Amino acid sequence: MNEAARKLIALDLDGTLLTKQKVISPRTKRMLAEAKQLGHHVVIATGRPPRASLNYYHELGLVTPMVNFNGALVHHVTDEAWGHHHFPLDRETALCVIDICERYGIHNVMAEVKDDYYLQQHDHQFLKILADGREPLGIGVIHDLLQDHPTSLLIQAQEAGIPELRKHLREHHAHVVEHRYWGTPWNVIEVMKAGVNKATGLSLIAESLGVAREQVIAFGDEDNDFEMIQYAGTGVAMGNANPELKAMADVICDTNDNDGIAMMLERLL
């Protein structure tokens, strides 16, 4: 294939590549295998940490770099020589954010450092959802445990205090942190370094593969996909995507449960 014709196909996981059952449909898997055989690059770009993404990476037989933590960690699973791009929160900023959050009432804090994490207090349900089988490096006061710059903070807040807390973060800390809210039943605020997103990660990968921005096809469904969809030459919103993402996308495909990615790639490739 002519190098200039190679596409970079970027895939969000939850609500996009994965069905509601958290699996990749056979049709989508076949289509992605075909795209790879044709010479196109397939890349995962997710908010998940590596530990919660690797099974899908290997299932698709990928040999490309991967975007984790919404762009805060960009790395190559099988080729260390590719490099390792980490954009963490400053430790002092992270501790300051935790102090602010505690004023509004919180249940728990997970401070993630690449694929490891510290937890404020043991919570079986929290671990079941977010630990992916990995034990914490420590449980206790995050100020005492955390010595590194964290990749992200996950703050499980009291629902009643969330609007005021997010308003405070927006008004006083927008220059240093990005934050997103995972609604009920999570009630988790995800905090990351300002200016870091899936598009910043994807542009690093595209450059390394020699793929022009115009040749990037990105699929997403949620607000953490906004920048990636805007960055891509072809930004595709899933049929189940939120209205804001659909409004900014170049094209809308069918839903994640109805082989939306496979059908769109059959058209585009």
At 210, the amino acid letter reads: G
Q: What are the phi and psi torsion angles at 8 (to 5°)?
A: -110, 115
CB within 8 A of 172, min separation 6: which ones? none
Question: Among residues 12, 115, 221, 259, which one is catalytic?
Answer: 12
Q: What are the phi and psi torsion angles at 78 (to 5°)?
A: -110, 0
250 is catalytic: no
* CA–CA gap between residue 124 and residue 107 (Å, rounded): 13
Beta bridge partners of 8: 41, 216
* CA–CA gap between residue 118 and residue 29 (Å, rounded): 35
Cα angle, residue 263 at apex, residues 260 and 265 outer, rounded to 5° = 105
Sheet containing strand 41-44, strands side by side = 41-44, 8-11, 216-220, 234-237, 251-252
Q: Among all residues, which ones are annotated catalytic? A: 12
